[in-house]
A = this chain, B = another copy of it.
C-alpha cells in the first residue's frame, strides 16, 4: 500500500482504480467504500457517478476519497447503479479536469465512463477525431472513447460501445454507464484485471478484489480478456467484443501494485510475494544477521526470505505513515545532518549487523542508493540487496508510469554496475522464471498469462503511437 510519494521519485505508479455496482439501494456509499479500498491506486482525484434510471448524479474532486466525499454530497448521489474512479496522475498538471468518471451529453442522452489503463493508439485516435472536428477538454483516453461512441452510427449504446472498443489498442478495464445500461469490459489481453462479485442481489465490479472484502461482497470471477458484460432492463448478458487473445496480466500487480490482501488472477498477492522472497533466498542465499524489507510493499517478500533462510526478520527500515501533501521538506543542510523524511533506518536494529534488504524493484536506482547509505550510516556492516522483480529494462506503455529507457538503470547498466552504483555488498534480482513461479506459473509457461514486457521487451500488443513517434507508421 502506498501513499503520496515524497521521499521517493523512484517508484513505479499505475494509473487508477475503478469500481462499479448495480442493483443496490446504497450504490453511492458502497462505491465510496470500494474506492476507499482502492485508494492506494490513486490519490490525485476521486469521483462517483450514479444513475436512478432517469438522470445522473455526479461528484468528483481532487484529493483522497475521504476528502472528496462527505455525508452531504454522498447523499446527493441517487440511484442503485454507480461507477467510481480513483486517479493517480502521471502528469500532474490538469487536476480536476481529468477526474473521472467523465460525464458527457450526446445525441442519445447522458454517458459516464471510467477507465483504467492506457491505450497505445490514443494519440492516433485523437488526431483522427480532431480532423473530424472533435474538441477535447481532457487529456484522458476516456474522452477518446466517448467521442468514438458518440460518432458511432450504431443503433444503441451496446453496439456503439462495441464499435468503439474495437478501435482501441492497449490495456484497459472500463465501465460505461447510461441511464438504462451498464457496460463493463476488459481489453483483449486482460492486462488490467477486473473482477466481479455478488453482494446479495447486487453485482459489484472492482479492479482489485480487496474492495470486495471491505464491503462483504463475495468474489464470483474475473472478467475475461475481450469480454463485455451488459446490464440493462433485460438483466445481465455477456459477450465478446474482440477475439480473445492470450491473457497477459501485468506481473507488477503481484510484485508491487496490488494490496497484499487482494487476489490477482486467483492468486493471493501477499502469498505470491512471500514466495518471491523464498525463491530469492534459493536463487541468491547470503550469510547475514537480519532481513528487513522496504516498507510497505516489500514486507511480504522480506518475511518469505527470512522464513526460507532462518535469518530473523526485523524492522530495520521504518516509514512514517503521516507524511502527507503538507509535509514541510527539510532543507539540503538538514538532510546532510541526517534528517530523513518518509523512511528511516533503525539504528537499534541494524547497527553492527549484516543486513539483507529486500525491495520490490529498482527503477532509476536513486532510492536504492539512498536506502543503502541510510543503513550504513545507521551502522550496518554489510548490506545485501535482494530485489523481488527482475531488472526493469523497458518502459511500460499500458498505464504504468515508467521513466524513459535512458533513465531505467537496468536498461543502461549490468547488475554488477548497479550494485556499485547503489553501494551494496551484493545485489541480486529474482529471475523472470522465479518470479513467474512465485506468482504461480509453471516455468514451462513462461510469458503465459502474465505481461513481462518491462523485463523482456516482448509487448503483447502493437505499440501504435510509438511506431508513429519512431516514424514507422
Q: For residues 16 through 32 of chain A, which have their beta carbon under 8 Å from a beta carbon of chain B?
A: 26, 29-30, 32
Residue from the list B94, B131, B348 in contact with A209, Cβ < 8 A: B348
The reply to whether A66 and B324 contact each other, CB–CB distance below 8 Å, is yes
Determine which of B26, B36, B349 lies in contact with A334 in the assembled complex, contact meaning CB atoms within 8 Å. B26
Q: Is the CB of A457 closer than 8 A to any CB of chain B?
A: no
User: In the complex, A146 Cα to B134 Cα: how many Å?
Assistant: 10
Does the CB pair B32–A321 fall under 8 Å? no
A303: interface (CB < 8 Å): yes
A135 touches B130 (CB 8 A): no
Inter-subunit contact A322/B39 (CB<8 Å): yes
Judge if A213 is at the interface, Cβ distance under 8 Å: yes
**Chain B residues in 8 Å Cβ range of A135:** 104-106, 111, 146-147, 150
A114 at interface by CB-CB < 8 Å: no
Main secondary structure of the interface of A (DSSP, over half): mixed
A340 closest partner in B (C-beta): B214
A219 on interface, CB distance cutoff 8 Å: yes
Could you say which residues of chain B place their CB within 8 Å of the CB of A66?
322-324, 326-328
CA distance A337 to B334 in the complex (A): 42
Tell whether A330 pairs with B29 under 8 Å between CB atoms, given A107-B130, A320-B214, A349-B261: yes
Residues of B within 8 A of A270 (CB): 314-315, 346, 349
Of the candidates B67, B262, B318, which one forms a contact with A210 in the assembled complex, judged by CB atoms under 8 Å apart? B318
B322 and A64 form a contact (CB under 8 A): yes
Q: What 1/0 mask marks residues of chain A from 170 to 192 whose CB sits below 8 Å from any chain B CB?
A: 00000000000000000000000
Which of B215, B326, B331, B344 contacts A214, CB < 8 Å?
B344
Contacting A65 at CB < 8 Å: which of B3, B94, B322, B330? B322
Nearest chain B CB to A203's CB is how many angstroms away? 14
Chain B residues lying within 8 Å of A130, measured Cβ to Cβ, are 105-107, 150
* Given A321-B321, A322-B36, A338-B216 contact (CB < 8 Å): yes
Residues of chain B lying within 8 A (CB to CB) of residue A33:
330, 339, 341
Q: Select which of B131, B213, B259, B307 is within 8 A of A312 by beta carbon.
A: B307
Do residues A328 and B137 form an inter-chain contact, with CB atoms below 8 A? no
Q: Indicate whether A158 reaches chain B with its CB closer than 8 angstroms.
A: no
A128 to chain B, nearest CB (A): 10
> Beta-carbon contacts of A117-139 to B below 8 Å, as 1s and 0s?
00000000010001111111100
- Report how far A158 CA is from B157 CA in the complex, Å: 37
- The residue from B106, B136, B306, B315 contacting A136, defined by CB atoms under 8 A apart: B106
The proximity string for A residues 257-274 relative to B, scoring 1 for CB distances below 8 Å and 0 otherwise, is: 001111100001011001
Does A91 sit within 8 A of B, measured CB to CB?
Answer: no
| A215 x B338 contact (CB < 8 A) | yes
Question: Hey, what's the 0/1 contact readout for A90-110 against B, CB within 8 Å counting as 1?
Answer: 000010110000111111000
Name A72's closest neighbour in chain B (CB-CB): B328
Check if B348 sits within 8 Å of A268, measured CB to CB. Answer: yes
Q: Is A345 an interface residue (CB 8 A)?
A: yes
Known: A74-B328, A270-B349. A37 touches B320 (CB 8 A): yes
Q: Are B216 and A339 in contact (CB under 8 A)?
A: yes
Q: Does A405 contact B (CB under 8 A)?
A: no
A312 touches B274 (CB 8 A): yes
Besides A36-B320, A106-B136, A210-B346, 13 more A-B contacts (Cβ < 8 Å) are A29-B328, A32-B328, A33-B330, A33-B341, A37-B320, A66-B323, A66-B327, A67-B326, A97-B103, A130-B150, A200-B337, A261-B344, A274-B312
Q: Which 8 A-B pairs have the closest CB atoms?
A: A216-B338, A133-B151, A107-B130, A261-B346, A261-B318, A104-B135, A105-B136, A270-B315
Q: What are 7 A-B contacts defined by CB distance under 8 Å?
A: A36-B323, A96-B96, A105-B136, A268-B346, A268-B349, A271-B314, A271-B349
